[in-house]
Every structure is written in C-alpha cells, then in structure tokens.
Amino acid sequence: MWTFEQSKTLKRLPEQFFAKLVQKVQRLKDEGHDVINLGQGNPDLPTPPSIVKALQKAAEDPVNHKYSPFSGHTYFKEAVAKFYQREYGVEVDPKREVSILFGAKTGLVEISQCLLNPGDLALLPDPGYPDYLSGMALADAKQILMPLLKENHFLPDYHAISEEDAEKAKLLFLNYPNNPTSATATKEFFDETVAFAKKHHLCVVHDFAYGALGFDGEKPRSFLQSEGAKEIGVEMYTMSKTYNMAGWRVAFAVGNPSVIESIDLIQDHLYVSLFGAIQYAAAQALLGDQTAVRELVQTYERRRNRFIKAVKEIGWKVDMPKGTFFAWLPVPSGYTSQEFADLLLEKAHVAVAPGNGFGCTGEGYVRVGLLDSEERLEVAAKRIGELGLF
C-alpha cells in the first residue's frame, strides 16, 4: 500500500484541540464511568419543533431536490435582512450584504483565505476560538495575538498593539459574547473598534455565534449597530446556538459588500449552495415566533445560576458569566490548566476544556459548558468539591 505525503498546507494546520478531549472522555465511558461532559460547545437541547416541521415540509418539495442557487436563495437572505432590522435596527441589503455559510466555522476559516496572502498579518484574540488559527494556517498568514485579560473585562486593549503591527495587519477577529471567557462587549468598545479599524484600514470579522445568549436582561450588541461598522467589517451569525441547529450547519455573514463578494466567490468554487430545505427552515426560524429563543436563554441563565451557586459553595471563587453558555473559571494554585482538567476528568469524571487550548493567555482557566441539566451541573460541582481542592 502506497503512502502519499500530505501537502505543506495540511501540515501547517494546528492540532484539533477538541479531538483529544473527545478521545479521553470516550475512553472513560468505554470503561463504564458516568462522565459529565462539560468540555465541548455542542448544544444539548433539540431544535424547536416548528423549525423541524418547516424542514420536513420543504424536503418534500421537488424544487429543493435540485441544486440551490450558488449564493443561496433570495428569500433566506431577505429573512436575514428582516432579522437584523427587527433585532438590532440595522439596515441590510440582502443582495449585496448577506452571504449564506455552511456553518459559521466555515466562514471564519474561509475569511482568511479570502483576504490574506502568504505572510500577511491578522490580529487574533487570545484566548480565542481555535479555528481562527486554522484559517490563518490555510492562508499561510501570520497572527498577532491580542491578550484578553480579566483586568480589561476580557476585551483587547488596542493601545497595547504597536503602531507598526496595526498598520501591517489586514484582519481583526473579535467574538462577543465571547468564547471562551463568556465576556460581553459594550457600545463604547465596538465604537472604538470601528475607529481603530478605519485608522489602520483593517477588516473586522465579528464572530457573533452567541448573539442571542446574554443574561440578566442584557441583550448582546451586534457589532453592526456601531456607526460605520458595515464600512469596515462583517459579522458572522450562526443558527447553531440561537435555534439549537448545530447539526444543520447553517449560518450567514452580514456586512461589507466587497467581503461578502469574496466569501461568495470562494464558496462558488468549493460548494453548490446549502440544501434548499435547510435554507427554507432557517428563514422560517428567523422570521417566526421567537418564544423558543427567549425560553432557551432563560434555560441557560437558570443553569448558570445553579452551577455558579454550587461551585461557590465548594469554595471556588468564580465570576458570574455574562453571556454564552460557558463559564470561564480560574484554576486553583499548583495546577496548570491541563493538569487541572485531567484531574477533574480522571478523579471526578467531569470533563472541562483546559484554557490553554484556546491560547497561551487562557492558561490558568478552564472552560465549562452549561450543556447539561441543572441537576447534572450541580452533581458535577459536588464531585469537584469532593476532591478537596478549594
């Protein structure tokens, strides 16, 4: 059997961080242990029935058995525009300012290949979503990391970026509500971002994956709500978290027309557009009754409250998450993030994601997904407490 060497492009790709975690969890499950897996970001609740029924209806329509238009159905883009107007008061041209994505991950990887040449620079948050780095590797580009520190509310400090780096960079990645820190962004920060991007001719890519998931009555802001944002950037919104449609792989990018055109171009060469029935169901989700979304946010907020209360009771000093379905928790002294995560998995059978997997500034933290029932989250906290670490 011949073995064919991988391309240099594939060899540049970073190691898939979550693959290792999945393997460790599966090993313990195979041994018969009851593992509470809070290490991944996979929503645990089903898609609302009305969306499923819309898919079923559309799947029976022969028009959806053919190839969809390359850049997606007009009705879906129009639904995106109505969604942005209703939720954020942002005017969107569905023809020029919306691109349909095969999940937001795809768009976040593609954008680097669309706008960066080998050796070009981009500004990335640290810690941040690991697949930003995957896109950078495929583009053979270089990154400058922006530390997200607790003392700055886990927002990047643009004053800490050298003038030289800011001038050389072409892309700036942001993500609020933030994975993994669960921080949210203010109007003032997004306004500052627009000014910074205009000054240095940067394209801003805002990953708005957790756009619906804000707590304590605070609705997360869209980056596009800031004046001038569409001139210098795009926002990527996924149906995965808002509507529990993670397995459906459907999302969209909204914003600067030249960037939208570039995304459509690369996708023209990689795919024929998303299955029409999924586009139809996604449009119905955006335009329909949003009660299920409000109930989902309330569910995550209850889980957050119960879990944080439980971990505080075992002596773990933690902050209350402001958004997403994650908690970003400090590691006790004497452990690295990986050592602490391994200890929780092996001794308490609770899986969490070590913070260093999201970047070097993530060292000293673990990320916990609030993706199990309130009761199971309390059991997880109790198991951790029994280790006597706090």
Average pLDDT over residues 270-298: 95
CA dihedral (41, 43, 44, 50) in degrees, to 10, reads -170
| Concatenated DSSP letters of 102-161 | SSHHHHHHHHHHHH--TT-EEEEEES--THHHHHHHHHT-EEEEEE--GGGTT---GGGS
pLDDT, tens digit (0-9, with 9 covering 90-100), for 183-238 = 999 999 999 999 999 999 999 999 999 999 999 999 999 999 999 999 999 999 99
pLDDT at 117 over 80: yes
8-47+292-385, CATH topology level? Aspartate Aminotransferase, domain 1 (3.90.1150)
Strand ranges in the chain using DSSP code E only, listed in sequence order? 36-37, 98-101, 121-126, 142-147, 169-175, 203-207, 233-238, 251-255, 326-330, 350-351, 353-354, 365-369
Give the pLDDT score at 311: 96
Q: Is 368 helix (H, G, I), strand (E, B) or coil?
A: strand
d(CA 101, CA 121): 24
Give the pLDDT score at 386: 94
Ranges for all domains in the chain classified under CATH 3.90.1150.10: 8-47+292-385
Q: Is 63 helix (H, G, I), strand (E, B) or coil?
A: helix
Give the pLDDT score at 294: 97
50-287, CATH topology level? Aspartate Aminotransferase; domain 2 (3.40.640)
Ranges for all domains in the chain classified under CATH 3.40.640.10: 50-287
Q: Distances from the Cα of 332 to the Cαs of 37, 164, 315, 384, in angstroms?
A: 20, 38, 11, 12
pLDDT, tens digit (0-9, with 9 covering 90-100), for 162-198 = 999 999 999 999 999 999 999 999 999 999 999 999 9
Average pLDDT over residues 306-318: 95
Residue whose C-alpha is closest to residue 222's, from 87, 48, 371: 87
Give the pLDDT score at 29: 85
